[in-house]
Amino acid sequence: MLTYALRFGALLLIAAAALSGASNVYEFTLNSIEGKPAPLAAYRGKVLLLVNVASYCGYTPQYQSLEALYEKYKERGLVVLGFPANNFGQQEPGSNAEIKDFCERTYHVKFPMYAKVSVDGADKTPLYQYLTSAMGGNIQWNFTKFLVARDGKLLKRFESPVEPDSTEVIGAIEAALGK
């Protein structure tokens, strides 16, 4: 019975994404880490770096580089968006309040954070259904990064080991931002 329910749930999520006909990330609304609806359309015209994050992962120190990128490029139009997820190794077990406190206290994160979501499996949030179907398949681990152009279209995907301050990521961000 549980297997049937999980399969049915997965089919509903896939159907919801297909029915949405999303053509860009601005068509999605998720809750902020404070629990309020936070449409991605609020970032229309910005370059976005969407990252599935976790507090207890070997890649968690990437928060520091993500915040540095945000601070360096926000005046030019870059917004880093964090999406906590507990899909891999139970590395994000806390509540949204605990996650927010950890990020602010440990890494001084000021970039926008969203409420905890699922980025993999039967309960994958529609945003991540869109991201993974459009670019590169399923998320393999925490700190996968998606670069989004000012028009809301996906530009590039960077896997977990690719550091946010790598020449590859910085080059792609600078190209997306333009002069």
Catalytic residues: 57
Q: What phi and psi values does residue 146 have, to the nearest 5 degrees? A: -120, 125
Whole-number Å distance between alpha carbons of 137 and 131: 8
Secondary structure (3-state) at 70: helix
Q: Which residues of 23-33 are buried (b: 16+ CB within 10 A; e: fewer)?
A: ebbbbbebeeb
d(CA 110, CA 177): 20
Q: Which of 51, 77, 60 is nearest to 176 (CA)?
A: 77
* Phi, psi angle pair for 104, to nearest 5°: -70, -45
Containing 65, the helix (H) or strand (E) segment is helix 62-73
Separation CA 134–CA 28 (nearest Å) = 15
